Structure 1
Amino acid sequence: MWSIGELAEHAGVTVKTVRFYSDRGLLPEAARSSGGHRRYGPEALDRLRMIRSLRTLDLPVPDVSRVLDEEDTLEDVIAGQLQELGSQLSALRWREAALQLLQDCTPEERAGRLRLIGAVSAPPSTASLVRFWRCWLPPRLPARVVSVFLEQAVPQPPAAPSPAQVLAFARLHAFVSGPCFSNDPCQPAAHRRDDGYRPAVLYDGLTEAFALAAPELRAQRPPREGEALDCFVSAYARSCGTRDTTAFRRLLSRQLAADPRIDRYWQLTAELTGPSAPTPGAAHDWFRAALDTQIAASAA
């Protein structure tokens, strides 16, 4: 049996360290001497070395305890620590890019940019963007449809942003934090049920149409007729219970031209995500141009 001092000497640590782990239940004593002093068996040395190794990885004492008592596997604890460390690194990268943005701008720009950046956490949350879309989308859409659209429309902040991306996200947050476009006059016609539309049918069809148009946008092909445009028009036709005809396409073209637009949102989203990830806004503009080109050619 070893005394606390002997165990500390064998492990190459201080007596204070052994006492600390003992007091927290990580290092049970085997017995007490007649004088009431702690005594440890040889197995305590291996346990103490394991504790030291785990603490070297900066694992909290409660996590070390769970690993030693086999309440959690070491793999699970390491996975949790990696996730937490990733969040911390992401926050540091956002702070670094934000500071670089402030350092590189002119004195006249600095105060305005500081206000924008100060309104966003690091790493930023997309909650304000989600709230914006829940106001903008038609009411009572099925949860599945809303989830699919939000996945396409809400950009995820990059883990290692550039200063320009930090500025784009801060401006996007400021844009969506303004008055919510929830009144009918500010909504597209297809969002108003009293016009005979079934928005759930429309958004299901638009999801398919945007997927078909994505390769065209990534390849930077000009707007044109084809399967993607037919799918886009068909989504609107089916949502209002009519057929895709030449007359309907002319009517749809006029309606889309008169609908409210949120171009600023899509512009900032594109700055944040880059050209490799076409936005639904860019796809919508591509479809409108393709539709107008087809109508003009038909008239000619």
Structure 2
Amino acid sequence: MPPRELLSIGELAERAGVTVKAVRFYSEQGLLPEAERSGGGHRRYAPEALERLRTIRALRGLEVPLPQVSQVMAEHEDGADSGLLGDLVARRLEALGAEMRALRWREAALRLVHEADEGQRTELVRMVGVLGSPPSTDALARYWRRLLPGRLAARLRTAVVDAAVPTLPEEPTAAHVLAFARLHALTVQADDACLAEHRPAPPRPDLLYDGLREAYELSVPALRAGREPGTASDEAVDCFVAAHARSADRRDTPVFRRELGRALAGGEHPAMRCYWRWAGELSPEPTIGAAHSWLSSALAARLGAGEDGVPVAG
């Protein structure tokens, strides 16, 4: 190739819009082969090096790691298409999505502290500063695994934990950060004595949780529609009561309904009420805590309407 067609390192850098240092670096990494060296030892590049350099810059602009840049370039030159570039871009998109989620949570956390009253900021910083971005829900899951009855079947334990731990919003607000920080603090500070105070101890936990899961699912449409507990379907209330009756090895009778109504009248443990309130602030979907409270109120409405817990015919 005639010498006049070769490009010096400076000419190549200028045409590609990069620094001489960058061209030298890519050359030393084996990504940009030299055509030859001048008599004075200066690098000379063939014209096609310009297109190669532009491709390298584009890949690096997408943050493709250098080893993978080399693989993509080799694949491109061989005319092969193993899908490597597509896989690299997909992985980078996934990583970028995680970075953006982290930034959104960090922004919401900073906004929470920024908008708070001066006297509240130190406490908020302590609560929020221990959380990751985005925060992990592992502490909440551990709390539920410790709280649930030890004899509960593994499949039900997993189902309850999955349902009880809220899904974090993709677009968090300052209120979301505060709700999660409170949930996190509640769960990590719960010691064995605290858990023992409100750990359920049904005689036959599998029967109870299996039945309650079905009852909660039946109540979700009404909860989404904002209906009052008194309008609950007989099917949902009957399923709710039957779960408790089977667990206690009892029959669903008027006497049992009155006993269950009295047992539920006191409501949940204060820690549980706080948990479900804050969990509800994180998700637009009804929580299982909201479903339990709604069905308990629905049963109370039935009991108030007639001795057997079934509405009196009008």
TM over 0.5: yes
Please state how far the C-alpha of 1:129 moved relative to its aligned partner.
0.7
**Contact 1:188/1:259 (CA < 8 Å) preserved in 2?**
no
Decide which moves more: 155-164 or 210-219. 155-164
User: Structure 2 matches for 1:81-96, cutoff 5 A?
Assistant: 81-96=92-107
Correspondence 1:65 to 2:70: yes
Please state how far the C-alpha of 1:244 moved relative to its aligned partner.
2.2
Correspondence 1:172 to 2:189: no
Please state how far the C-alpha of 1:263 moved relative to its aligned partner.
0.4
Decide which moves more: 157-166 or 42-51. 42-51
One-letter amino acid of the structure 2 residue matched with residue 215 of structure 1: P
- Count of aligned pairs between the two proteins: 292
* Aligned twin of 1:77: 88
One-letter amino acid of the structure 1 residue matched with residue 277 of structure 2: Q
SS of residue in 2 equivalent to 1:189: coil
Decide which moves more: 31-40 or 179-188. 31-40
Please state how far the C-alpha of 1:270 moved relative to its aligned partner.
1.3
Decide which moves more: 1-10 or 168-177. 1-10
| Alpha-carbon spacing, 1:140–1:4, altered in 2? closer, same or farther (3 Å) | farther
One-letter amino acid of the structure 1 residue matched with residue 70 of structure 2: S
Which runs of at least 4 in structure 1 moved beyond 6 Å after TM superposition?
30-37
* Aligned twin of 2:307: 299
Q: TM-score, normalised by structure 1?
A: 0.84
| Alpha-carbon spacing, 1:175–1:10, altered in 2? closer, same or farther (3 Å) | same
Correspondence 1:247 to 2:255: yes
Decide which moves more: 127-136 or 141-150. 141-150
**Contact 2:254/2:307 (CA < 8 Å) preserved in 1?**
no
| Alpha-carbon spacing, 1:287–1:28, altered in 2? closer, same or farther (3 Å) | same
Structure 1: any 5+ residue segments left out of the alignment? 191-195
Give distance in 2, aligned partners of 1:143 and 1:30: 66
SS of residue in 1 equivalent to 2:306: helix
Which of 212, 217, 221 matches 2:223?
217
Decide which moves more: 218-227 or 235-244. 235-244
Give distance in 2, aligned partners of 1:156 and 1:249: 34
Correspondence 1:148 to 2:154: no
Q: Provide the alpha-carbon RMSD of the alignment.
A: 2.8
Please state how far the C-alpha of 1:24 moved relative to its aligned partner.
2.1
| Alpha-carbon spacing, 1:58–1:257, altered in 2? closer, same or farther (3 Å) | same
* Aligned twin of 1:269: 279
Please state how far the C-alpha of 1:4 moved relative to its aligned partner.
5.7
Give 1 or 2 for the bigger CA radius of gyration: 2
| Alpha-carbon spacing, 1:144–1:50, altered in 2? closer, same or farther (3 Å) | farther
User: Structure 2 matches for 1:120-131, cutoff 5 A?
Assistant: 120-131=131-142
One-letter amino acid of the structure 2 residue matched with residue 98 of structure 1: A
Which of 89, 102, 125 matches 1:114?
125
**Contact 1:266/1:282 (CA < 8 Å) preserved in 2?**
yes
After superposition, give the CA deviation of every residue in 1:88-147 in whole Å (9 maximum; x if it has no partner).
Answer: 222222222222222222111111112111121121111111111111112243333223
| Alpha-carbon spacing, 1:139–1:67, altered in 2? closer, same or farther (3 Å) | farther
| Alpha-carbon spacing, 1:147–1:35, altered in 2? closer, same or farther (3 Å) | farther
* Aligned twin of 2:214: 208
One-letter amino acid of the structure 1 residue matched with residue 278 of structure 2: L
Which of 193, 196, 200 matches 1:188?
200
